[in-house]
Amino acid sequence: MVASAVFSLTVLGFVYCQMFGMRQDQLVNSKVGASDLARLTWNELANDIRASKIWQIGNGNLNSFTGIPLGTNQQGNALKLSMTTDTNKYYIYYFDTNACALYRGHSGSTSRTCVANYLTNTMYFQAQNYQGANQTDLTHKGVINVKMQFCQYQYPITKIGPGYYYDYYKMEMRVTPHAPDGP
């Protein structure tokens, strides 16, 4: 009888440890997956910005893009990047407010790729000078500021504790195109 009680307590302890380990695994996978996806998103976007010869901030999507006119705050939901001096060939990154996602498309193509989803803010691209002040003209080469706010990456949502320990964060990046000439 005593051996049976000790065996039952041992099995109960192992089951509890297994359940605790599975819960911790969910938490770690959620954090690692979010970090990995954010890293891939930022790397692709930063590489495209650095490689661009001509860039323009504006509003729009894959089918229509309107650049921000000079003399106004250079901030919009889309970024058009030309890798050569031919402005008819470009990549466009744009924030889709209906899907709360950042998409990447290419000129002459109707397909788009979701770069980041579960975005919560009205994401924007912004031209700034080297001191971080917003630019209204592009006479001096500046930096492109990108700000994204994410909610839970993982689906289904991992519940940890009485609330969600890991369900929201914000990332901001400033990247300078390598082209020595202005847009």
The one-digit pLDDT tens for each residue of the chain (183 residues) are 999 999 999 999 999 999 998 888 877 766 666 566 667 778 888 899 888 888 889 998 888 899 988 888 888 999 999 988 888 899 999 998 888 888 999 988 888 888 887 777 677 899 888 788 888 877 667 788 888 777 654 545 555 555 555 556 677 888 888 765 544
DSSP string across 35-84? HHHHHHHHHHHHHHHHH-SEEEEEEE-SS-EEEPPTTS--EESEEEEESS
N residues, the chain: 183
CA gap 56, 69 in Å, rounded: 10
Is the preceding peptide bond at 156 cis, omega within 30 degrees of 0?
yes
pLDDT of residue 15: 94
Count of other CB atoms within 10 angstroms of residue 55: 22
pTM: 0.72
Longest dimension (CA), the chain: 87
SS3 string of 105-135?
EECCCCCEEEEECCECCCCEEEEECCCCCEC
